[in-house]
Amino acid sequence: MTGTPDTIDSGKLAAALDGKDETALAPAGGKGYTRAKRILDVVLASLLLLLLWAPMLVVAAIIKLTSRGPVFFKQTRAGLNGEPFEMYKFRTMYDGAEQDREYLARRNELHWPVFKIAEDPRITRFGRFLRRSSIDELPQLFNVLLGRMSLVGPRPLWVPEARNAVGAARLRTLVKPGCTCLWQISGRSELSYDEWVLLDLYYIRHRSTLLDLLIMVQTIPAVLTGRGAY
């Protein structure tokens, strides 16, 4: 489709990744786009919550019945301009799993500073299903209504990970983080960290209402196939 990452100037973005061309990465879209994006966020997030509240209650009950700990997982993520906020997800790991993160660091399968492993032993049996299906992400709709996230935008990193980002990777926080993005529809964890960053930088430079809608539409098959989700 027109204006997708197929037309990326890889040389320019590769230079930007090293922090050599940061002026070329000013966010696209003016005040009109920002207002329209917020209206679309509120309307669609509200509709989705109205449609999905019953299944979300069932998911919450299963989490509570199958493992100890809270239903929701809260983590401080880096939002717009790096401002921290509490991001909500359905809990997919055993309670206290964050304390074992350092122990498992040597098994990291993504480039520093991001931490992710495919067969994470901290994930519960039901949690693995929630991750494969992306159902664990649904509580982020509340973050959208609160204005801390958008439906489309770079995925928010854990604050310590965001602080360790270098070069133009730090520019991911120039726009509000999102529930889905180009990374989400392009293979997710199958991509390297550098590819993830390049896709986010592309979005920042080319974002528009049309691109947002196309990403949302393509998120549906990406979620159904579960490609790169773990």
Name the pTM for this structure.
0.83
Cis peptide before 113 (omega within 30 of 0): yes
**Alpha-carbon torsion (174, 88, 151, 187), positive or negative:** positive
Helix, strand, or coil (residue 79): coil
pLDDT of 9 > 60? The answer is no
DSSP reduced 3-state for 123: strand
Q: Which helix (H) or strand (E) holds 72?
A: strand 72-78
- Closest by CA to 46, choosing from 128, 145, 186, is 145
Q: What is the pLDDT of residue 160?
A: 86
Q: How confident is the model over 130-145, as pLDDT tens digits?
A: 999 999 999 999 999 9
Residue 207 lies in a domain: yes
| 70 belongs to a structural domain | yes
- Band of pLDDT at residue 29, cut at 50, 70 and 90: confident
* Higher pLDDT, residue 95 or 72: 72
Tokens of 99: 């304390």
Q: Got the DSSP string for 138-169? A: TTHHHHHHTTS-EEESPPPPBHHHHHT--GGG
Structural domains counted in the chain = 1
- Rounded to a whole number, what is the distance in angstroms from the first to the last CA of the chain? 28
The pLDDT tens digits for 156-208 are 988 988 888 888 788 899 999 999 999 888 877 778 788 888 899 999 999 99
**The residue to which tokens 């990970």 are assigned:** 161
- The 10s digit of each residue's pLDDT in 81-109 is 999 999 999 999 888 766 666 666 565 55
Q: Determine the 3-state secondary structure of 192 from DSSP.
A: coil
The residues that bridge with 72 in the sheet, in sequence order, are: 90
Q: How far apart are CA 17 and CA 11, in angstroms?
A: 10
Residue 230: inside a domain: no
Enclosing domain of residue 91: 5-225
- Confidence at residue 191, expressed as pLDDT on a 0 to 100 scale: 80
- Is there a domain that residue 68 lies in? yes
Note the pLDDT of residue 175. 95
